[in-house]
């Protein structure tokens, strides 16, 4: 359990690390929207180029970034395979056919694009979590959502819940480790092959874990109460978020990238060279 | 008998987070010992004892641990046999309670040993009574509604129900009030009659001095030495070298001596202190 990595922040002092988390979140949203607009191989390549530039600027080891892809690589492979064999194109002849499965050239293209899209969609959030601490992200989110306070949405509370949850993940892992060891010492076996037996074997771990979570929550509430915590009202921050010129520039830059992709896609002015690129 | 030979242990080997917890540890715990292990935080005490029932496996080329005739460094290990033989009680053992009645919780260990149902029940009853709880009163109660000290007894019973031959305790009295501490230690001494070998980690030097016959001092993953209580607490040089404090009762005796009261400095238990004080008291009364 102990070598599980959650909250995979990679400490460094790069431009991307220092950037305002609010802007990083905005750019991420913009990026995700843009990726869904990408249709041609050229536009995918275009986006990938800027992702690579971001990774280089962030100065995180490329292996760390690729580790983030490990979780979804199976999903990507399966969807790609299904896309390839089930894609139907009435306008052309299939390259190969077995019963209900058939492979079209366009099907292969579509599958590659799908895989590419999925990988891009995971890469960028990975870079975000590698370059921002969970606290930064929570603060950024709270600040971004603050307009919702107008309609009485509990923004601060939501951010607090998030940061507490993130903070307690390592604690819970440690606790799980301890309880598992205690039950193993009493002869419990967690290595059963049968999934039902496995779930049943986890009960002696899950119940104490639940009990201790409630106890911890109680303690935390008491600790906050004794420090006069009264919610968001009148609360100031020790670390204020500062947006710098570079953050605005980065956001504008990504807006420009989005516009470029839209251009490649819709070709509003009917330029010939774009039509060539738009495979 | 537990024989630790040249044991080393590294956490997270071959990563940036690597840290060595044990360096070439050699110890021999004989049958019948009440073996104390002391040392500051991060000294490797918990890592060491978690080897004793193979919760932490001996790493390759890092020495070995022998428990009687079992070599814990071999890959194929009869874990069930080992864990029935070495009973391990962790810090705050009450956090491991999970079942809806005390009896069922205590039966968890015997059940895992695949003993017949009546035997499981008999052992649970025996263990619950051994820890000083009334079987009729507690067996069907929920362990979660008991007091802190009672919970700890139930958790202890859960380990004792496996009838271990060696009992390993990690700070058994942590977080209890003085009366609770005394109760648990009395209980351990009672258990020692049927389970003769006890290994105990403690930060409480009074407990160590009073109960242990051998004390291993760990410092940053290395064994500074194994001493008898009189050797360790009788030698200022040793205490300073190992960074160990005196038991409170010994400190009282030392302070009394310094103040001119004629008592023996080298006492280790409360009873000895009381005896010493009684010896000087009549004279003190006479003088007055």
Q: What is the pLDDT along chain B (288 residues), one digit of tens a residue?
A: 999 999 999 988 876 678 899 999 999 999 999 999 999 888 999 999 999 989 999 999 899 999 998 999 998 888 889 999 999 999 999 999 999 999 999 999 999 999 999 999 999 999 999 999 999 999 999 999 999 889 999 999 999 999 999 999 999 999 889 898 999 999 999 999 988 899 999 999 999 999 999 999 999 899 999 999 999 998 888 888 888 889 999 999 989 989 988 888 888 888 888 888 888 877 655 665
Q: In chain A, what percentage of residues exceed pLDDT 70?
A: 94
Q: Measured between CB atoms, does B108 come within 8 Å of chain A?
A: yes
pTM of the predicted model, to two decimals? 0.75
| Euclidean distance between CA atoms A10 and A94, whole angstroms | 47
Q: Closest residue of A to B87, CA-based?
A: A185
Q: What is the pLDDT of residue B148?
A: 87
Q: Is the pLDDT of residue A5 over 80?
A: no
Q: What is the DSSP string of chain B?
A: -EEEEEEEEEESTTSTT-EEEEEEEEEEE-TT-EEEEE--TTSSHHHHHHHTTTSSPPPTTS-EEEETTEETTSSS--HHHHHHHEEEE-SSGGGG--SSSHHHHHHHHHHHTT--HHHHHHHHHHHHHHTT--HHHHTTS-GGGS-HHHHHHHHHHHHHTT--SEEEEESTTTT--HHHHHHHHHHHHHHTTTS-EEEEE-S-HHHHHHH-SEEEEEETTEEEEEE-HHHHHH-HHHHHHHT-PPPHHHHHHHHHHHTT----S---SHHHHHHHHHHHHHHHHHH-
The tokens of A226 are what? Answer: 């004794």
Residue A196 in domain: no
pLDDT at A3: 41
Rounded CA separation A122/A38 (Å): 15
Residue of A nearest to B158 (CA): A186
Pairing of strands B34-38, B214-219: parallel
Q: Domain for residue A227, yes or no?
A: no
User: What is the predicted ipTM?
Assistant: 0.87
Instruction: Report CB contact under 8 Å: A182, B96.
Output: yes
* pLDDT (average), residues A155-183: 88
Q: What's the CA gap between A184 and A167, in Å, rounded?
A: 27
Average pLDDT over residues A22-32: 95
Domain annotation covers residue A217: no
CATH 3.40.50.300 positions along chain B are 30-58+70-243
Alpha carbon distances (Å) from B133 to A25, B98, B108, B124, B275: 58, 18, 18, 11, 33
A278 touches chain B (CB under 8 A): no
Mutate to test the interface with B, among A3, A183, A185 (most CBs of B within 10 A): A185
pLDDT of residue B135: 94
Put simply, the chain B residues between 47 and 86 with a CB less than 8 A from any chain A CB are 50, 53, 55, 80, 83-84
As a whole number of angstroms, the distance between CA A212 and CA B39 comes to 28
- Fold of the B30-58+70-243 domain: Rossmann fold (3.40.50)
Q: What integer best gives the mean pLDDT of chain A? A: 86
Top-confidence residue, A67 or A22: A22
CB–CB contact A186 B99 (8 Å): no
For A26, the domain range is 8-132+242-279
State the pLDDT at residue B286: 62
> What's the rounded Cα separation, in Å, for the pair A144 and A20?
12
How sure is the predictor about A275, in pLDDT bands with cuts at 50, 70 and 90? Answer: low
Nearest CA in chain A to B46: A178
Cross-chain residue pair A188–B158, CB shorter than 8 Å: no
> Does A204 contact B159 at a Cβ distance shorter than 8 Å?
no
Domain count, chain A: 1
Chain A residues near residue B104 by CB distance under 8 angstroms: none
């Amino acid at each position: 359990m102990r070598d599980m990595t959650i909250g995979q922040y990679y400490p460094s002092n790069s431009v991307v690390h220092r950037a305002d988390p609010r802007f990083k979140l905005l750019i991420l949203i913009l990026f995700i929207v843009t990726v869904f607009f990408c249709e041609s191989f050229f536009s995918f390549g275009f986006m990938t180029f800027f992702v690579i530039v971001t990774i280089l600027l962030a100065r995180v080891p490329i292996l760390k970034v690729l580790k983030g892809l490990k979780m979804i690589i199976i999903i990507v492979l399966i969807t790609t395979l299904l896309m390839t064999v089930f894609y139907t194109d009435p306008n052309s002849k299939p390259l190969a056919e077995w019963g209900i499965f058939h492979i079209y050239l366009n099907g292969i293209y579509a599958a590659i694009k799908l895989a590419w899209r999925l990988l891009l969609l995971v890469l960028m959030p990975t870079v975000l979590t590698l370059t921002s601490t969970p606290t930064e992200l929570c603060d950024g989110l709270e600040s971004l959502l603050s307009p919702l306070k107008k309609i009485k949405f509990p923004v601060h509370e939501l951010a607090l819940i998030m940061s507490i949850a993130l903070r307690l993940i390592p604690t819970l892992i440690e606790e799980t480790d301890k309880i598992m060891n205690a039950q193993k010492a009493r002869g419990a076996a967690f290595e059963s092959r049968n999934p039902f037996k496995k779930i049943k074997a986890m009960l002696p771990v899950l119940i104490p874990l639940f009990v201790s979570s409630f106890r911890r929550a109680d303690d935390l509430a008491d600790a906050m109460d004794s420090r006069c915590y009264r919610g968001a009202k009148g609360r100031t921050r020790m670390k204020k978020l500062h947006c710098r010129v570079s953050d605005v520039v980065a956001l504008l830059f990504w807006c420009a990238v989005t516009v470029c992709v839209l251009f490649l896609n819709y070709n509003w002015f009917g330029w010939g060279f774009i039509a060539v690129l738009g495979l | 008998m537990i024989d630790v030979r040249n044991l080393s242990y590294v956490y997270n080997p071959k990563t940036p987070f690597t840290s060595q917890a044990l360096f070439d540890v050699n110890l021999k715990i004989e049958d019948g010992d009440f073996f104390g292990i002391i040392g500051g935080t991060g000294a490797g005490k918990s890592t060491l004892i978690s080897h004793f029932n193979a919760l932490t496996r001996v790493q390759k080329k890092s020495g070995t641990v022998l428990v009687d005739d079992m070599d814990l460094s071999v890959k194929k290990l009869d874990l069930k046999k080992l864990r029935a033989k070495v009973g391990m009680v962790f810090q705050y053992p009450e956090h491991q309670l999970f079942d809806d009645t005390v009896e069922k919780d205590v039966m968890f260990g015997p059940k895992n040993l695949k003993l017949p149902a009546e035997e499981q029940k008999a052992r649970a009853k025996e263990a619950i009574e051994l820890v000083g709880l009334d079987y009729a009163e507690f067996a069907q109660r929920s362990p979660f509604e008991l007091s802190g000290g009672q919970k700890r007894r139930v958790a202890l019973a859960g380990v004792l129900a496996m009838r271990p031959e060696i009992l390993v305790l990690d700070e058994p009295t942590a977080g209890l009030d003085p009366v609770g501490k005394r109760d648990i230690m009395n209980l351990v001494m009672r258990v020692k009659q049927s389970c003769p070998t006890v290994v105990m980690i403690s930060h409480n030097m009074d407990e160590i001095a009073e109960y242990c016959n051998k004390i291993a001092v760990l410092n940053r993953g290395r064994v500074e030495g194994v001493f008898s209580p009189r050797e360790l607490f009788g030698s200022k040089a040793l205490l300073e070298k190992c960074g160990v404090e005196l038991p409170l009762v010994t400190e009282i005796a030392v302070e009394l001596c310094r103040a001119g009261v004629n008592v023996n400095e080298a006492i280790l238990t409360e009873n000895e202190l009381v005896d010493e004080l009684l010896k000087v008291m009549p004279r003190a009364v006479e003088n007055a």
